[in-house]
Amino acid sequence: MKADTQNPLPSLDVWEEDVLTRYPEPFEKAKEDYRNYDEPGRDTVREFYRLNHTYQTYDFVREKEAEYLKFDKKEMPIWEAFDFLNTLVDDSDPDTDLDQWQHLLQTSEAIRADGHPDWFVLVGLMHDMGKVLCLFGEPQWAVVGDTFPVGCAHSDKIVYPEYFAANPDTYDERYNTKYGVYEPNCGLNNVHMSWGHDEYVYQMTKHGMPEEGQYMLRYHSFYAQHREHGYDHLLDDHDRAMFEWVKKFNPYDLYSKVPTPPDWKKLRPYYEDLVAKYLPGALKF
């Protein structure tokens, strides 16, 4: 696979800059003050989504589920896993020179400061762990980006829907109807989402995470639903209740970056106890 196909974005985080442009939040800091690139990367974002929408097919997702959800590639103590994630540091992030680990701490500390339950804080700490898929050789379009169901018609609420014209599922009668392989209001647990870090980290941690936190991890990039309601016809009542938690999480991920690094030495006892409460000592990848 050509290098430009593997890495169409100058940074894994350019996608988040695009999200901020499309879905600004009414925070004190102005939208334009975040992710202010001299060259905003719009062309690379479009190329990213061209690849994503072309290759994220139902068969591709099922293949990746079979490949990665065996969790037989690597096993590490959880704190070593954070060091592993930290090798994804990218100097092109314009908001902060903090590394991935410090961004996760900032997100979780912002959640904690607002008095949310401790499992919510843990979601902040863990939400980007699935990006280690890049370290296993996955292209960016199979790691980050807005997520969407596969196996049914693509909603026009998905960003850059015109690029689905190159996706073979668009022309497959099994997959191109409103419900495709699914039933009305079947519930998202029965729906296969485009492959990426959301599904991966959800599957990695689901046995130790409260259900509200599971939804936050699994669907925090599903903007076509939690911002646009493009897939109400697949949700059941339980999904609709849980999505209120997804909506609570997203602002902390996108708007919590500040230039002052968290004091890990001071915070460490709290987070060691928190992780031990909900997750095993080692994570399987």
pTM (two decimals): 0.87
Range of the domain at 211: 3-284
**Backbone angle region of 73, left / alpha / beta, with phi > 0 → left and psi within -120 to 50 → alpha:** alpha
Do 285 and 71 form a contact (C-beta atoms < 8 A)? yes
Partners of 76 in the β-ladder: 283
- At residue 19's C-alpha, the angle toward residues 230 and 6, to 5°, is 100
**Rounded CA gap, 158 and 165, in Å?**
13
Amino acid at 164: F
pLDDT number for residue 258 = 64
**Rounded CA gap, 78 and 15, in Å?**
26
Q: What is the pLDDT of residues 190-241, one digit of tens each?
A: 999 999 999 999 999 999 999 999 999 999 999 999 989 999 999 999 999 9
Q: What distances in angstroms separate CA 93 from CA 15, 66, 133, one per listed residue?
A: 11, 33, 19
- Count of CB atoms situated within 10 Å of the CB of 70: 9
Do 209 and 275 form a contact (C-beta atoms < 8 A)? no
Partners of 282 in the β-ladder: 77
Give the count of domains, the chain: 1
pLDDT number for residue 17 = 73
Do 126 and 206 form a contact (C-beta atoms < 8 A)? no
pLDDT number for residue 90 = 40
Q: Containing H/E element for 167? A: none
- Count of CB atoms situated within 10 Å of the CB of 67: 13
Q: 């499309």: which residue's tokens? A: 22
Segments of the chain scoring below 70 in pLDDT: 1-6, 24-42, 89-98, 255-259
pLDDT number for residue 1 = 45
Radius of gyration of the chain (CA): 18
Report helix angle 118-126 to 237-255, nearest 10: 60
